């Protein structure tokens, strides 16, 4: 079966709901994968693990990641998605995302995550 970047990008974003961030990046990418988040810059695997641990600690229940749209142009894929996760502070983390995902050799080489930074601040205070 030929490599389909759209399907792999969709699977990666959906995996973010139930897999630690650093592990999902490692599974779909490799040790050279660059993960950039708006307002944070390029993050190391340790920083990704820290974000994942903080989210898991704040969670009151399982997360979901709904993919709304996927568009591909060669090795570049754009994914619009939305997360939902109940939190221990009785709020719902419901962020909206745009991911730009670039593939090299059938692995994710770069991820750029754009999310609602106001929502993050409103929910987590940082």
pLDDT computed for residue 126 by the predictor: 59
Kind of pairing between the strands at 107-115 and 96-104: antiparallel
Burial class (CB in 10 A: 0-12, 13-18, 19+), 122: exposed
Q: Which one of 3.10.450.50, 3.30.70.260, 3.10.400.10, 2.30.42.10 gives the CATH number of domain 5-124? A: 3.10.450.50
Q: Find where tokens 């939305």 sit.
A: 82
pLDDT digits (tens, 9 = 90+) for 96-126: 999 999 999 999 999 999 999 889 888 887 5
Q: What are phi and psi of 120, to 5 degrees?
A: -60, -45
Taking the domains of the chain in order of start, what are their residue ranges?
A: 5-124
pLDDT computed for residue 120 by the predictor: 84
pLDDT digits (tens, 9 = 90+) for 40-55: 999 998 999 998 899 9
């Amino acid at each position: 079966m030929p490599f389909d970047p759209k399907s792999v990008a969709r699977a990666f974003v959906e995996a973010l709901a139930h897999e630690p961030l650093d592990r999902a990046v490692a599974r779909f990418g490799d040790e050279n994968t660059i993960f950039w988040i708006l307002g944070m810059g390029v993050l190391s695997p340790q920083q990704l693990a820290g974000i994942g641990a903080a989210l898991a600690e704040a969670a009151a229940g399982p997360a979901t990641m709904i993919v709304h749209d996927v568009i591909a142009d060669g090795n570049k894929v754009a994914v619009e998605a939305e997360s939902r996760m109940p939190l221990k502070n009785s709020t719902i983390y419901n962020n909206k995302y745009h991911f730009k995902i670039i593939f090299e050799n059938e692995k994710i080489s770069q991820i750029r995550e754009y999310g609602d930074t106001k929502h993050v601040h409103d929910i987590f205070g940082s």
